[in-house]
């Protein structure tokens, strides 16, 4: 019985992947999803500077081989992360998005940059400026007070404090965007 359930789960996943592949190839016959197509798929107008910047950061984080396109395998990995990823994986991905220079540490400029974009997209009404949010994050998360946030500090801080989690996990409804703008093409 357990074996049948496992086979059924695998078939559902295979059917989903086949549907994604068909939709992906319909949208990207070359097999490569470029940044402008990525923005278009998610309904981000070219006039929206903040959303365009955010989508570029997201695009770059999914372009794992840094060839400036997202191939089908990178796309499937991105969809899986956005729709089904574990919290730990989503936090690691968020860290990667924040870490613009890729050095494995977050400085105040990197954190402030993302917080400003998220604030503009969400029109955040926390009563705090992006600078104040950044200062509070560093106060609560930078345990060794070296002016940088490591991945472990990032993960631990997010998991111990709900306010920090909400700021750090980059939840600007990426799964909602996907469901609304991509799934309708399946």
Range of the domain at 109: 87-168
Residues 116 and 148 in one domain: yes
Statement to judge: residues 163 and 178 lie in one domain: no
pLDDT digits (tens, 9 = 90+) for 109-156: 999 988 888 777 766 666 788 899 899 999 999 999 999 999 999 999
50, 100: one domain: no
Dump pLDDT digits (tens) for 66-87: 999 999 999 888 888 877 778 8
Are both 110 and 145 inside the same structural domain? yes
Looking at the structure, do residues 69 and 96 belong to the same domain, yes or no? no
Burial class (CB in 10 A: 0-12, 13-18, 19+), 117: buried
> Which strand (E) or helix (H) includes residue 70?
strand 70-71
- The total number of structural domains that make up the chain: 2
Question: Residue 36 belongs to a domain with what CATH number?
Answer: 1.10.238.10
- On whether both 80 and 93 belong to a single domain, the answer is no
- My answer on whether 119 and 55 are in the same domain is no
> Is residue 178 domain-shared with residue 128, that is, in the same domain?
no
- Together in a domain, 64 and 138: no
Phi and psi at 127, nearest 5°, equal 80, 5
Cα(98)–Cα(47) distance, integer angstroms: 23
Look up the pTM and report it.
Answer: 0.73
For residues 65 and 74, give the distance between their C-alpha atoms in angstroms, rounded to a whole number.
9
């Amino acid at each position: 019985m357990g074996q049948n359930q496992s086979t059924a789960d695998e078939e559902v996943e295979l059917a989903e992947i086949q549907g994604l592949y068909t939709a992906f190839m319909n949208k990207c016959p070359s097999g490569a999803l470029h940044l402008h197509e990525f923005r278009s798929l998610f309904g981000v107008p070219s006039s929206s500077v903040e959303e365009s910047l955010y989508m570029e950061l997201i695009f770059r984080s999914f372009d794992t081989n840094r060839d400036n396109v997202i191939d089908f395998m990178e796309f499937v990995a991105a969809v899986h992360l956005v729709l089904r990823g574990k919290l730990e994986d989503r936090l690691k991905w968020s860290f990667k998005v924040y870490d613009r220079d890729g050095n494995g540490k977050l400085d105040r400029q990197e954190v402030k940059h993302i917080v400003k974009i998220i604030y503009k997209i969400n029109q955040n009404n926390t009563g705090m400026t992006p600078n104040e949010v950044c200062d509070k994050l560093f106060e609560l998360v930078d345990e060794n007070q070296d002016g940088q946030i490591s991945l472990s500090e990032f993960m631990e801080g997010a998991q111990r404090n709900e306010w920090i989690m909400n700021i750090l996990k980059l939840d600007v409804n990426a799964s909602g965007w996907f469901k609304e703008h991509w799934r309708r093409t399946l």
